[in-house]
Amino acid sequence: MAVITGASKGLGKAMALALGGAGVRLALASRDLALLETVAGEARTAGMEALVVQTDVTSEAEVARLAGAVREKFGGVDIIINNAGVNVRKPMTEFTLEEWRRVMDTNLTGAFLACRALVPLMKGRGGGRVINLTSIMSHTALPGRTAYASSKAGLLGFTKALALELAPEGINVVGISPGPFATEMNAPLMNNPEASAQFLSRIPLGRWGQPEEVAKLVVYLCSAEAAFITGTDILMDGGWCAQ
């Protein structure tokens, strides 16, 4: 079974439905209960099993409640997808401490809290997968992304260290670094013709990525065929970081 944070929309929704379509039982977590229920409804209509747990990944208590609900419903965990994330775009000197902490707490500390609560439910099951959504901003940067890039670079380091810790358990830990994808988080850029054109000009393949493309990669990484992949990060960016 798989726990997916940030499962109410975008990449999280696409990954959840793809894993469910591959026969994986789902625990969907997000702050937005209404959207979560919508995703769960789609999953159940397609014959998938889906548990909904409203969760703010920055809250230690709420993440513990998520782990408890998963333990009660499924008994254990096979896959953790740390996808919940936020971005604040502005010059570093204009950041408030609250904004900085919100980005770091969601993108980095949230993954720590989820893994600390859920990894014990993976051990002793013959293996498992932890997939962290890192972003190209863990490899490169743009102006106005100091908090986001810092959080994602930290998540990449977390991914590598955790992979070494969990390798003796047969649990693989992998990062996926999406580039510009057509998600709600990037809607402000996509809906701004000038900003969208600027981004597209920097993508060698000349288009925005589609959430389903990341979802298919996740299904592969969670399969037996990917059992020798751990402690690394896979760029999926249309060639952005190759420049």
- State the Cα–Cα distance between residues 48 and 83, nearest whole angstrom: 20
Confidence (pLDDT) at 142:
92
Catalytic residue among 57, 87, 148, 154: 148
Confidence (pLDDT) at 193:
86
Confidence (pLDDT) at 5:
98
**Where on the phi/psi map is residue 143: left (φ > 0), alpha (ψ -120 to 50), or beta?**
beta
Active site residue 148: yes
Confidence (pLDDT) at 187:
77
Confidence (pLDDT) at 241:
96
Cβ neighbours of residue 210 closer than 8 Å, sequence gap 6 or more: 181, 182
Confidence (pLDDT) at 60:
98
- State the Cα–Cα distance between residues 123 and 77, nearest whole angstrom: 9
Task: Decide: 170 and 155 in contact? Cβ < 8 Å.
Answer: no
**Domain range annotation of the chain:** 2-233
Q: What is the pTM of this model?
A: 0.95
How high is the mean pLDDT in each 10-residue block of the chain (243 residues)?
A: 97 98 98 97 97 98 98 98 96 98 98 98 96 97 96 98 98 96 80 85 93 97 98 97 95
Confidence (pLDDT) at 198:
84
Cβ neighbours of residue 189 closer than 8 Å, sequence gap 6 or more: 180, 195, 196, 199
Instruction: Report domain 2-233's class.
Output: alpha beta
- pLDDT (tens digit, 9 = 90+) per residue, 172-193? 999 999 998 888 777 777 888 8
- pLDDT (tens digit, 9 = 90+) per residue, 205-217? 999 999 999 999 9
Integer-rounded Cα Rg, in Å, for the chain is 17
Report which residue type is found at 69. Answer: A
Confidence (pLDDT) at 197:
87
* E strand or H helix at 65: helix 60-74
Confidence (pLDDT) at 68:
98
